[in-house]
């Protein structure tokens, strides 16, 4: 039944994306007033459909981000039922931090912090002395790499920026040190060779080509 919400006829500027019970409205237009109109119109159509099927729209949970050029500093404000929504600098959508310029800088920081916390927990399970053998350590290390590479096909191109690539590599290097049972002073290249791991950049590019 819920699948029919994806077939609602929306304004030409709007596209509806759904996953399970989560809905995203993507509106593209040159003029901000047209974007606002399309947002409000789309929300009304979707809400009317939900109400007619005895479903509710979680207006208080709804967030918006306005993707714009570097020179523009506009903010999107639109009405959503009894609420007035204002666009934020970034939003979290299925574990991906989408910022207003799609630089994914915020996402890489978020993924790095999350992976570092996981590595901290795994460190107790993978000590340098008396810990599991490399194959098992490598399996545990892949927990952190899966966090770092979440939704990689979306943001892989930003790794062309050296600062972004370095940010992920610094976290990924910690897992390689654990697998290789090496000291923290060991270079990342040596740690990757001993651990049998490839760089995070190569892994991201491989996922993108799948």
Task: Examine the pLDDT at 71 and tell me if it is beyond 80.
Answer: no
pTM (2 decimals)?
A: 0.81
What integer pLDDT is reported at residue 65 of this predicted model?
Answer: 93
Average pLDDT of the chain, as a whole number: 86
| Residue 8: per-residue pLDDT | 92
Beta bridge partners of 93: 96
User: What are the pLDDT digits (tens) for 94-134?
Assistant: 999 999 999 999 999 999 999 988 888 777 766 655 555 66
Number of Cβ atoms within 10 Å of the Cβ of 80: 17
Q: Can you tell me the mean pLDDT for 176-199?
A: 83
pLDDT digits (tens, 9 = 90+) for 152-175: 999 999 988 888 888 888 888 888
Predicted confidence at residue 127, as pLDDT, reads: 62
pLDDT digits 0-9 by tens, 37-52: 999 999 999 999 999 9
pLDDT on residue 134? 64
| Residue 34, pLDDT above cutoff 90 | yes
User: What integer pLDDT is reported at residue 197 of this predicted model?
Assistant: 86
């Amino acid at each position: 039944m819920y699948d029919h919400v994806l077939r609602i006829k929306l304004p030409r500027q709007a596209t509806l994306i759904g996953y399970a019970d989560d809905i995203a409205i993507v509106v593209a237009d040159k003029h901000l007033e047209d974007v606002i109109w399309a947002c409000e119109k789309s929300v009304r159509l979707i809400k009317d459909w939900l109400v007619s099927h005895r479903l509710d729209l979680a207006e208080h949970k709804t967030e918006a981000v306005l993707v714009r050029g570097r020179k523009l500093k506009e903010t999107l404000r639109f009405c959503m039922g009894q609420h007035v929504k204002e666009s934020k600098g970034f939003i979290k959508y299925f574990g991906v931090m989408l910022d207003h310029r799609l630089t994914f800088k915020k996402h890489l920081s978020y993924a790095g912090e999350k992976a570092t916390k996981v590595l901290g927990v795994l460190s107790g399970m993978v000590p340098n002395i008396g810990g599991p053998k490399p194959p098992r350590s490598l399996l545990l290390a892949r927990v952190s790499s899966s966090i770092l590479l979440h939704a990689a096909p979306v943001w892989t191109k930003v790794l062309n920026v050296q600062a972004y690539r370095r940010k992920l590599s610094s976290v990924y290097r910690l897992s390689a040190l654990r697998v290789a049972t090496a000291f923290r002073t060991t270079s990342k290249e040596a740690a990757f060779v001993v651990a049998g791991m490839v760089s995070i950049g190569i892994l991201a590019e491989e996922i993108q080509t799948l």
